[in-house]
Structure 1
Amino acid sequence: MMSSENSHPAPEGLNGEEPLKIILAEDDKDDQELFIDALQEADVSSEVVTVENGQELVDTLKDKSQPDPDIIFIDINMPAKGGKQALEEIKADKELKGIPAVMLSTWDHPSDIEETFEKGADLYVQKPNSFSGFVMILKKVFFLHWAKALLNPVKKLFFVSEKNISQGDS
């Protein structure tokens, strides 16, 4: 299997190989559980580490005793250090900037989407209102969207919501 040299490889855990190492930065315990349950339901083989805020995320990523994750999911609104600030620090760090970063938010403010795109996020996911919506979005992110968006980030593939998936946008 060939991979392009300057882009992110497809996640390994999708072909029955090693589970994906995922870090989820999310301060809401219910949202953490929902995310992990939806990953399992979507059949994404993964090991998820959760952190409560952006500072904890940056500290975890800089801890060299831990292997780098395959992908990070960052909630935009968190205490101590918000998701946008954490994203900026990660993308400014030459050792961490290659880790795919997916922003999570309840909102779809154009300014947030634009700002995180400019700061180097790989994807912006609007949190769905339902469990089945979360499963559908994670399937889209890991099985369909990954190759198209993460290998070639373009603006129209950057924002993912339950609404634009159910409109047949693939």
Structure 2
Amino acid sequence: MDEDPKIIICLADDDEDDRMLLHEALLELDRPFRIFELCSAQQLIEHFSKPEQEPADFIFLDLYMPGMDGFECIERLRGMGPAPGNARIIVYSIDSAAKTMQRAFALGADFYAVKPSTYEDLKNLAAIVMGASWEDLSAQERIFHIR
């Protein structure tokens, strides 16, 4: 059986436009991605509850969705084992408050991105996240915020 070289990415956001734009920005990087779009944190948890589910490499997670919020979702993902537990979790939110970022990192987020207002900035975010040398990123480099 051939090894699938694709990078697996999950996009969990209740805003369909935000999911679509981020999906397109990722595809513009011209890398071998397999992208799953999910409408809620609960769908993301259910996605990884299937025993046959492959591990994700990256999870983009909105913090504020109906039902389970992103904070609870991060906690649950980190406790689920290898499929989601080892993924890089990128919080993707409109909230730019320092206390929100601190809480997300304390729960296990790897990166915090304030949703950019332009498509060009969104493409830059995608390139930064996908091109990062994660072990070398300082705490400040794990935050993306266009002022």
User: Normalising to structure 1: TM-score of the pair?
Assistant: 0.78
Cα drift, residue 158 of structure 1: 2.0
Q: How does 1:72-87 map to 2 (within 5 A)?
A: 72-87=59-74
Cα drift, residue 152 of structure 1: 4.8
Distance 1:74 1:44 in 2: 21
Distance 2:146 2:98 in 1: 16
Q: How does 1:32-111 map to 2 (within 5 A)?
A: 32-95=19-82, 96-111=84-99
Q: Where does residue 115 of structure 1 map in the other structure?
A: 103
Please give the secondary structure, in 2, of the residue aligned with 1:139. Answer: helix
Gaps (5+ residues) in structure 2? none
1:151 and 2:147 matched = no
Q: Where does residue 129 of structure 2 map in the other structure?
A: 141
Gaps (5+ residues) in structure 1? 1-16, 164-170
Please give the secondary structure, in 2, of the residue aligned with 1:162. Answer: coil
Moved more, 152-161 or 63-72: 152-161
Contact 1:77 1:105 (8 Å CA) reproduced: yes
Distance 2:96 2:49 in 1: 30
User: CA, structure 1 residues 157+38, in 2 after alignment: closer, same or farther (shift >3 Å)?
Assistant: same
Moved more, 88-97 or 52-61: 88-97
Query: Percent same amino acid among aligned pairs?
Result: 22
User: Normalising to structure 2: TM-score of the pair?
Assistant: 0.89
Cα RMSD (Å) of the superposition? 1.6
